[in-house]
Amino acid sequence: MARNSSRKAKGKIVRRLGVNIFGNPKYERLLEKRPNPPGMHARRRGRLSDYGTQLVEKQKLRFHYGLAERQFATVFAKAKNMGGITGDNMLILLERRLDNVAYRMGMAATRAQSRQLVRHGHLAINGRKAATPSQLVKAGDKITVKERKASQTMVHDALEANHREVPSWLMVDAKASAGMVLRLPERAEIPTIADEQLIVEYYSK
């Protein structure tokens, strides 16, 4: 029952934001079938204010990477203090999260599944157990799977079933169930799911 409720909640989020932020093909079909936001008065909803538009963009990115509000605000604060372009920094930091890297490598079908993979201690970075989804990877880091049959089988099956393109800043050896961070990602290599400048404006108020 809880699982079914979770699916419905995600469907409502996708319809409200108008973008398949979770990447699952079933939500593409949902948007085609029911393009309007949820709620009986959805068709009468007027134009969003500037603040409302900024909030929607922030929610798109937050839900896309599966972060809580406080976690997302922390990432933004770090990006702002790095110097350079805050929006670019924010996206690069989000991409460098271990849960996202494992997802990008194809070790899990979804980011939610990837977070569980990390939390349950199935992965290691440079031979050391890594159980924190928010841990940031560095260039040269090697991501491996715990030498346990259940862990190896889980990741191997996910890699075999993966049809997503692995980003050029990452390398994956499906046979060894391992991957490497060749270098840090550049902004141009990160798929655009939201307008990061509007998110910067949202937090700058």
DSSP 89-114: HHHHHHHTBHHHHHHHHTSSSSHHHH
Residue 3 has pLDDT above 50, yes or no: no
In the chain, which segments carry CATH 1.10.1050.10? 2-35+48-84+192-203
In this prediction, residues 135-146 reach a mean pLDDT of: 97
pLDDT bin (cut points 50, 70, 90) of residue 46 is low
Q: Using only the alpha carbons of the chain, give its radius of gyration.
A: 18
pLDDT at 85: 97
Residue 146 in contact with residue 80, Cβ under 8 Å?
no
In the chain, which segments carry CATH 3.10.290.10? 97-184
Query: CATH number of the domain at 97-184, out of 3.40.1640.10, 3.40.109.10, 3.65.10.10, 3.10.290.10?
Result: 3.10.290.10
Interacting residues of 27 by C-beta distance below 8 A, sequence separation 6+: 10, 11, 14, 20
| Range 2-35+48-84+192-203 classified under CATH 1.10.1050.10 | yes
Say what the pTM is.
Answer: 0.84
Average pLDDT of the chain to the nearest whole number: 88
